[in-house]
Amino acid sequence: MIEANKIVASFQMIASRVVRFELETKEVNNDNEKVNVRNSFDYEVVRIEEHEDHYYGVVQFKTDSVAKIGRKTLFKIFVVYEGKFVGNKNFLKQEDFQRMLELNGVVALSQFTRSYVLSVTALAGINPPVRLPMININQLKKLKEEMERSKSL
């Protein structure tokens, strides 16, 4: 085993929380029909601050899921999961810290969100519980940047 002090990253999560959670369920008795689930994902860098020896940043990961059987809505889920991160200024430039927020931070929060949704939907009686797909964060970032560029035109 390798000692942690030799491999600890210069970028660390210091806190996380669910900012917003909404779950709406409906009883639908169509056991034979296929359930269609639509998932949407986004993230937002809320804040970056520079301090004497570190950077501080807040990022939010957002997911919106809707399941339908035919035209009837089975459930809706909306989650905003927030993480607070610090980066050591001795090892990171501010642009590297922002990049890490948008990649490493979003990856961590997406996994927390997946776990949270799985647990809460199981407790809510949704069977089987909702398993959000793993997503390609690089592709999410790229598509988000393209959407923002096209909005500014």
SS3 68: strand
Question: What is the mean predicted confidence (pLDDT) over 11-24?
Answer: 97
pLDDT at 116 over 70: yes
Q: Does the global pTM surpass 0.75?
A: yes
**Tens digit of each residue's pLDDT (9 = 90 or more) over 59-71:** 999 999 999 988 8
Confidence at residue 26, expressed as pLDDT on a 0 to 100 scale: 85
CA distances in angstroms from 134 to 28, 50, 95, 110, 137, listed in the order given: 27, 32, 26, 8, 9
Contact 30, 69 (CB under 8 A): yes
Question: What is the mean predicted confidence (pLDDT) over 17-27?
Answer: 94
Confidence at residue 28, expressed as pLDDT on a 0 to 100 scale: 66
